[in-house]
Amino acid sequence: MDRKIESALISVFYKDGLEPIVRQLHHEGATIYSTGGTQAFIETLGIPCVPVENITGYPSILGGRVKTLHPKVFGGILARREFGEDQQHVAEYEIPLFDLVIVDLYPFEETVRSTNDEKKIIEKIDIGGPSMIRAAAKNHNDVAVISSKDDYAELVQLLTQQKGVLSLVQRRKFAAKAFDVVAHYDVVIAAYFKKDLEESSFQISLGNKQSLRYGENPHQPGAFYGSLDELFEKLNGKELSYNNLVDVDAACQIVSEFDQPVFAIIKHTNVCGIALGTSVADTWKKALSGDPESAFGGVLITNQTINLEVAEKINELFFEVLIAPAFEPDALALLKTKKNRILLKQTQTFVPKQEYKRILNGALVQESDILNFIEWKEQGARESSTEERENLLFANLVCKHLKSNAIALVKDKKLIGKGCGQTSRIDALRQAIEKANQFGFDLKGAVLASDAFFPFDDCAKMAHQVGISAIIQPGGSVRDNDTISYCKDNGIALVFTGVRHFKH
């Protein structure tokens, strides 16, 4: 059923974009009811407005906490036009009917991001707003509801084209959006209060939907929910794809582990090149040399400013995305010569506290893997040297970000071979050695990191055969003594960390 908008209740926090709606409603002859700041805004436009206080007989009280929580307001929203008893009550209690409700919500989420002042945060928990939105959405058979300024433009267009009339289909669509808005709002508030409590349910709500070209594959529709502009300033290139975003996340996570100058190259969430160094050019050269073949079409990231020297070298490679905290102007000008090349200036480091994934008909939730080791237990033939220790620390962090089963081979603070996503640990080591050999690296004096314990001593034996001098792993196998004995008999330094780093 079509519904002519003859009366509208408007009470919003954000006034931008509201003026065209108010003017169109006035043009169509609708009576406008409002409160506080919204009423003042409408009156500055020279448009008549009925204060809600005239309906309720009460002013705004308790510092603005109570303005619209009144039977005459909610009666006017919830009254069913075709129900005789409802209409008797409307007449008896002189309740004005509302055909349109435009209400947004106090900016709770934004306030939490901007302050730790709990009093300010609590005051941004909206009570009347969600109640009016839910009431109008429930009664969408008779009432249209607009719950976000994102819908203002569409509403103006409909009111203009349809001369103040909205169809049931349109009202139902706005109602669905309204319930979504309120649900998100409640989840955000619940998350704020549950942060120190054990959760009995898992809830997450993310707004800002961004439709992607497709998902992981072209036949899969995909979307991203979140605010990328809180983390990055996009300087150039096409829209980020689903797979780009997955790799950008992996890139940001691994680089966040390091304070020293670092450069990393990511392919399919695994790091295929990474190095520490003294400058951005030095780290790029070392990272690329680790696996120049896999670097093609990768996601590149550094924690250093991109200057012209390194930009000229990077420009020789085809890559999807480059992430850095800053770009010198001449370097940026050069890199922007390829219009599809995505350049992201990282403005904020993000280290998630929690991870989750859909599993079967539910979800798995865990704390993020932020613990690197709980002990440094030298178990081999000798203590690791200072140089070995630095390389072992680096290798352990790199291996942590490879898909299991994973092995990382490092020399001179550079990844020179890696095996990842293998079904056995010995296969991961074979793959890592093969990669190192492919690009001509001498493994003598290199170190090895494993994401989990060695179930047998075969990995220690294979590592020794190619010249690896030190190993870091969690330990914890019932056969640890076999590996310890082999390392002691063959001069290999062996460190147990006590922390496993499975990644699936």
Query: Which of the residues are catalytic?
Result: 138, 268
CA distance 160 to 168: 17
d(CA 377, CA 238): 48
Amino acid (1-letter code) at residue 25: L
* CA distances (Å), origin 464, targets 140, 232, 449: 73, 44, 14
b or e along 90-103 (b: 16 or more beta carbons within 10 Å of the residue's beta carbon)?
beeeebbbbbbbbb
Question: What backbone phi and psi angles, to 5 degrees, belong to 286?
Answer: -70, -45
Torsion sign, CA atoms 112, 117, 119, 120: negative
Q: Which residues pair with 377 in a beta bridge?
A: 496
Q: Give CA separation, 408 vs 200, 428, 445, 496, in Å.
A: 39, 9, 14, 15
Residue carrying structure tokens 């190192």:
436
Q: Are 313 and 282 in contact (CB under 8 A)?
A: no
> Which residue, among 83, 106, 99, has the nearest Cα to 2 in the 3D structure?
99
Structure tokens at 278: 């003294």
Closest CA to 12 of 30, 39, 44: 39
What does the alpha-carbon distance between residue 32 and residue 273 come to, in Å, rounded to a whole number? 63
Whose tokens are 């998902």? That residue is 215
Write the CB contacts of 310 (distance below 8 Å, at least 6 apart in sequence): 280, 281, 284, 331
CB 37 within 8 A of CB 14: no
In sequence order, what E strands does 325-382 have? 342-346, 354-359, 362-367, 377-378
List Cα–Cα distances, 37 to 11, 23, 214, 484, in angstroms: 8, 17, 43, 74
C-alpha dihedral (117, 120, 121, 124), degrees to nearest 10: -170
Torsion sign across C-alpha atoms 146, 152, 157, 159: positive
SS3 content of the chain, % helix, strand, coil (to 5): 40, 20, 40
Q: At CA 93, angle to CA 89 and CA 99, rounded to 5?
A: 70
The answer to whether the beta carbons of residues 21 and 38 sit under 8 Å apart is no
Give the span between the Cα atoms of 91 and 96, in whole angstroms. 9
150 three-class SS: helix
